[in-house]
A = this chain, B = another copy of it.
Amino acid sequence: MERYNKKKIPRATAKRLPLYLRNLTILDAKGVVRIKSKELAEITQVPSATIRRDFSYLGELGRSGYGYDVTFLIKVFSDILDSNETSHMAIVGFGNLGKALANNNFRRNQNLIISCVFDTDPEIIGQTIAGFYVYSMEDFERVTREKNVKVAISTVPSEHAQEAIDTVVNSGITAILNFAPDRVEVPSNINMRYIDLTTELLTLLFFDRNYKDTPLAITS
């Protein structure tokens, strides 16, 4: 979808795209076909004027007063996030979670490819497990360069996460998805996202206990 000049989108707008996308997919699943900026503002907690301005950067997405077509917005936002370039990824830590990620996920997007997996356990290094040759972390920089890896997904537990992430950072990779909840230190040029399942669960429970009649919208 080359209609959208991705470079032109202001950074603040870009940061809200995943938030819009998540809430729109929820609305779509509930059968909502059309939504006004005020309604989306209510759900996302983004002011409606900001939503309209954000959407205006993305072209003609809807008509004032009439609302936006939910399916169309989902398609546009998905296309913007998706580069249609193949992205090679490395998994750091090849336990159950690493294997689950390598084998079961990202099927929805054929451009996301797990190209190599790493571990520090001598018992599995050099073995082919679940279809993946397990490399030593000592070979991380060399192998990820050879395979043009742009993203590292770390499943290393918190107590060893800093060491693993340091190796990733030193290899020159700047995009990291980290499944360990405790914070690790990285240089300011690194893009890191945490998948913090404990906070996700506590948030879910918090809403389930306190807001029984008004279920959670996905705003975080």
Contacts and interface: CB of A to CB of B under 8 A. Distances in A.
A33 interface: no
Contacts of A189: 212-213, 215
A185 B27 CA distance: 10
Copy count, this protein chain:
2
Interface of A: 6-7, 9, 11-12, 14-19, 21-22, 25-26, 28-31, 45-47, 80-83, 87, 89, 95-97, 99-101, 103-106, 108-109, 112, 150-151, 153, 155, 157-158, 174-177, 181-185, 188-220
A197 B25 contact: no
Nearest to A7: B210
A126 to B, nearest CB: 21
Given A29-B185, A103-B96, A208 B175 contact: yes
A193 B157 CA distance: 23
A18 B83 CA distance: 29
